[in-house]
Amino acid sequence: MYLNLWIPLKIQLHFRRQGIRGPNYHPIYGNTEEIKKHIAEARTKPMPFNHEIVQRVFPHFCMWSGIYGKIFIFWFGSNVRLNITEPKMIKELMLNHYKEVDKVPLNPPLTDLVGQGLPGIFGKKWALHRKITNQAFKMEKVKEWVPEIVMITMTTLKKWGEGRGDDEFEIEVHKELHDLSADIISRTAFGSSYEEGKRIFELQDQQIINTLQAMNSVQYPGFRFLPTKKNMMRWKLDREIRELVKNLIGKNNNTRKNSNNLLNLLISASQNTNGEDLQFDAEEVINECKSFYFAGKETTANLLTWAILLLALHQEWQAKAREEIIRVCKANEPVNAENLNDLEIVNMILYETLRLYPPVPLLTRQTSKNIKLGRLNVPAQTQFNLPMIDVHHNVEIWGEDANEFNPLRFSEPGKPLGAFFPFSLGPRNCVGQNLAMVESKIVLAMIIQHFSFVVSPLYAHAPTMLLTLQPQFGAQVLFRRRT
């Protein structure tokens, strides 16, 4: 009674005294039932192919901000969440308060999916893991993987064009790009083929289903330990994935002498200047592998899916990108590590895609201490809701064309920190963003180089949040091989 009623009412009163309101708190469930209802309604039918997608992805946030203003509170179970879309406050939260503000603890199915790697650990343990993984994703390391990314991509594109001649053919690019990203992360990060890692991806897909079912459900203390049907399925999936990852680690230990993949970098001992041992133990390596298998595939595949759809719709930008690629990659040669930075238009297209369709459209954080944020006094244990997709589409920040595809807005720097943060901000930003951008640039450039493409009549525009921002009914695109 005290935790589920009196404390939330006290917190609600605390924010109301500061002029911050929101939907009423309902004991135990908070506003989760309302959230599920609005999202389910939004998903019942597709929308026109335009980029005013915030209402479809997060209808409840749009409704509440219209009633209560840009800053409001709502309730996820008995946990209060403070919704923030003001760039200055986001910057202050992520840069000035990063020591007090951390990730919201993951629910059990999501922990199963990503493991106790970077997304699910805190404090000194997080700092240690971050230090080691930072080394693995330095740009100079990532550029060493470019030839392999090019080779894997070329193999996939040859399969797309096999036996097609000049005929137009349809591909559901969301699935194809997931398979390609899975192959790239398998080879570059873990030194294995897609086929060897395929079972891990299949099992993680099952874990995604479990996670989606749990995302908008209140988790009761201790419930995850009960031998329910869902919990036993969770445990079985987790055991099998861990065993497969152990086998990959064992294989890598036998062949890693000249290997430069992520797995080798994770398990290689290193010393800092103080002589502190920075080596992961076997369990920590497994957890980080689980995290990167999921994040490395999902983020890049979804970014590329939306980029292809945007260029299939906006043919003028597809043509501009192709002209640049032909100029930079002489004689239709593949992209390489040296000319990657010369693909400025491709880079702008990817950034504009990240603005309109960020793979992770919402960030959540939680403060461990009382903090002052702008004019607000925020009590400890408050969770923060940062809907970046709303910020990225805000006409007050981006102008009247905020909902239009215009890569030129990234031709010059100018937007303040907190206005554009597809990979988060500050010390806790995405550790794999260098790999995500390099891989995306290579794959997108090679697709444009070898094919022209338009949106299929079968495509139904329905962006939806399923852990990442995805096309609900697939992404059907018509391709024609260029000669």
Q: Annotated binding site, which residues? A: 430
- Taking CA atoms, 7 is separated from 79, 81, 137, in Å, by 10, 14, 43
Compute the distance between CA of residue 168 and CA of residue 367 in angstroms, rounded to an integer.
Answer: 53
Compute the distance between CA of residue 334 and CA of residue 336 in angstroms, rounded to an integer.
Answer: 6
Compute the distance between CA of residue 300 and CA of residue 433 in angstroms, rounded to an integer.
Answer: 9
Query: HEC profile for 329-392?
Result: CHHHCCCCCCCHHHCHHHHHHHHHHHHHCCCCCCEEEEECCCEEECCEEECCCCEEEECHHHHH
Compute the distance between CA of residue 71 and CA of residue 79 in angstroms, rounded to an integer.
Answer: 17
Residue with tokens 């995805």: 470
Asked if residue 198 lies in contact with residue 178, where contact means CB atoms within 8 angstroms, the answer is no
Region for 413 from its dihedrals, namely left if φ exceeds 0, alpha if ψ lies in -120 to 50, beta otherwise: beta
- Taking CA atoms, 176 is separated from 132, 146, 192, 314, 458, in Å, by 32, 20, 19, 21, 17
- Residues sharing a CB contact under 8 Å with residue 107, sequence separation 6 or more, in sequence order: 211, 214, 215, 219
Show binding-site residues for heme. Answer: 430
Question: b/e map of 306-320 (b: 16 or more CB within 10 Å)?
Answer: bbbbbbbbbeebbeb
